[in-house]
Amino acid sequence: MIKQINVGVIGTGWCGGIRANACNSNPLVDKLYIAETNETRINELKDKLQLEEATNDWKTLINNPEIDTIIISATPEDTHYPMALSALQSGKNVFLEKPIATTMAEAEELIEVSIKNNLKFTIGYSQRFNAKYAYVKKTIDENLIGEPVTCLVSRNITRELGAKISGRTALSPAAMEATHDLDFLLWCLQPRKPVKVYSQTSGKLFSKNSNTPDHQWIMVTLDDGMTITIGAGWILPLGYPNFSNTWIEIIGTEGSLFIDDTHKDVQLNTVNKGIQYPMSSMPGEPVEHTYAGPMHEETNHFLDAVALNKPVLVKPEEAKLVMDLYLAADLSVEKGEPITMPRNKS
Ligand SMILES: NC(=O)c1ccc[n+]([C@@H]2O[C@H](COP(=O)([O-])OP(=O)(O)OC[C@H]3O[C@@H](n4cnc5c(N)ncnc54)[C@H](O)[C@@H]3O)[C@@H](O)[C@H]2O)c1
């Protein structure tokens, strides 16, 4: 007989809402708990989900011995480390939204505690669960385009999202957006490792009121000589809430792979609002009985990993390497020169 698990979700906004929804409908989950500081949101979810308990104090979930698994989707991002550390120290499996931490030392500590306590610990790199992105891995694994020579990913999201993200944290577009692409490309290209990174930012919009750049380019050389270039920006006109637009090119010695993830394939045109692009967010929204994007599937994968004792797809050590790389990219911006990897951790 399959053992059910009891899950607590901390922070149930945009992403945590999707996670809690997935837990609510997954038969592997027995009891579902949430911790949320926004009372309106708590009441909304109390109506929608079957909750064992809803609290505004996340420590209540950590101290509850019935809960074996915690999903952390709170913001700002500097809440992640204390929440994840307490959960892991209390013997709970942890799903943590990216970024894994704010310093390399914190990331290392979380990984150490998860290993010591024999717990599942993973990071929310949702795009690995997007079939188009998994197809890149399949193409490379099956040698369909020969030896990869260079990859380009250009990702842009709306200024509405850019303002939300940059309003709560000083983290760069590399840390908050390109992080998804650094992760998925390093995953697809394993066992190659980064040896050099150069990055430049530009800003003419957000920079009027803050130090936040509008866009960041990151160019990475891997240890077999191939290059990857990732662009991440967050000032697209509003258009549709949480719209994201991504273009991917992988060029190999025997072929190429182009992926259009610009989310223009569903176009709603109304007299009142003009053209809109539903189902265009990165995590993906609920659509009737189904979900448009990867986050629902990703959450189910984690629940499977815990309940059925299977490995997690995103290993925390991989997230630590991604973090090392985007920190190096930010350092390159600061110094105006390429940074060699691996580098001394700080
Ligand atoms: N994987 C992806 O595609 C993806 C996409 C967007 C965001 N994210 C990540 O997910 C996380 C959440 O982002 P979001 O856009 O859902 O944010 P959000 O602001 O919509 O939701 C965060 C929620 O946490 C709650 N909260 C804040 N402090 C809390 C606390 N101390 N205890 C309990 N609840 C608390 C807030 O009230 C809010 O409801 C971030 O780390 C972000 O980087 C991932």
Ligand 1 pocket mutation, candidates 70, 73, 123, criterion most atoms within 8 A of CB: 73
148-158 and 244-252 as β-strands: parallel, antiparallel, unpaired?
antiparallel
Average pLDDT of 3-24? 96
* Band (345; pLDDT cuts 50, 70, 90): low
Please give the Cα distance from 269 to 277 (Å, whole number): 9
Cα-to-centroid distance, 78 and ligand 1 (Å): 11
Helix (H, G, I), strand (E, B) or coil at 100: coil
Q: Which residue has the tokens 């109506």?
A: 47
H/E element, 53: strand 53-55
Domains contained in the chain, CATH given: 5-119 (3.40.50.720), 128-283+322-340 (3.30.360.10)
Question: Which ligand 1 atom sits closest to the C-alpha of 77?
Answer: 41
Q: Which residue has the tokens 């920190």?
A: 327
List 305's β-bridge partners, or say none: none
Cβ-based burial of 273 (10 A; exposed 0-12, middle 13-18, buried ≥19): exposed
Cα-to-centroid distance, 79 and ligand 1 (Å): 10
Question: Which ligand 1 atom sits closest to the C-alpha of 58?
Answer: 32
Question: Which ligand 1 atom sits closest to the C-alpha of 38?
Answer: 37
Please give the Cα distance from 132 to 135 (Å, whole number): 5
Measured in residues, the chain has a length of 346
Q: Which residue has the tokens 């009372």?
A: 39
Higher pLDDT, residue 147 or 286: 147
Q: Using CA positions, which residue lies closest to atom 25 of ligand 1?
A: 11
- Residue 104, Cβ neighbours under 10 Å: how many? 17
Question: Which ligand 1 atom sits closest to the C-alpha of 35?
Answer: 33
Please give the Cα distance from 154 to 246 (Å, whole number): 6
The model's pLDDT over 25-74, given as tens digits with 9 standing for 90+, comes to: 999 999 999 999 999 999 999 999 999 999 999 999 999 999 999 999 99
In this prediction, residue 344 carries a pLDDT of: 67
Task: Return the amino acid letter for 255.
Answer: G
Please give the Cα distance from 346 to 334 (Å, whole number): 16
Tell me: pLDDT of 264 over 80: yes
Q: Which residues contact 124 (CB under 8 A, 6 or more apart)?
A: 15, 73, 95, 96, 97, 98, 295, 298, 314
In this prediction, residue 239 carries a pLDDT of: 76
In this prediction, residue 155 carries a pLDDT of: 97
Question: What CA–CA distances, in Å, run from 28 to 71, 156, 288, 300, 310?
Answer: 15, 36, 22, 9, 13
Cβ-based burial of 65 (10 A; exposed 0-12, middle 13-18, buried ≥19): exposed
Cα-to-centroid distance, 94 and ligand 1 (Å): 15
Long-range contact set of residues 73-76: C-beta below 8 Å, sequence gap at least 24? 73/9, 73/10, 73/11, 73/12, 73/13, 73/15, 73/16, 73/19, 73/97, 73/124, 74/10, 74/11, 74/16, 75/11, 75/13, 75/168, 75/169, 76/168, 76/169
Average per-residue pLDDT in the chain? Answer: 95
Omega before 99 cis (within 30°)?
A: yes
The DSSP call for residue 99 is P
Cα-to-centroid distance, 144 and ligand 1 (Å): 38
In this prediction, residue 170 carries a pLDDT of: 83
Q: Which residue has the tokens 């922070």?
A: 11
CA-CA-CA-CA torsion sign (302, 306, 311, 315): positive
* Band (127; pLDDT cuts 50, 70, 90): very high
Cβ-based burial of 269 (10 A; exposed 0-12, middle 13-18, buried ≥19): exposed
The ligand 1 site (C-beta within 6 Å) comprises 10-16, 35-38, 41, 58, 73-75, 77, 79, 97-98, 124, 126, 282-283
Percent of the chain that is helix, strand, coil (3-state, to 5) = 40, 25, 35
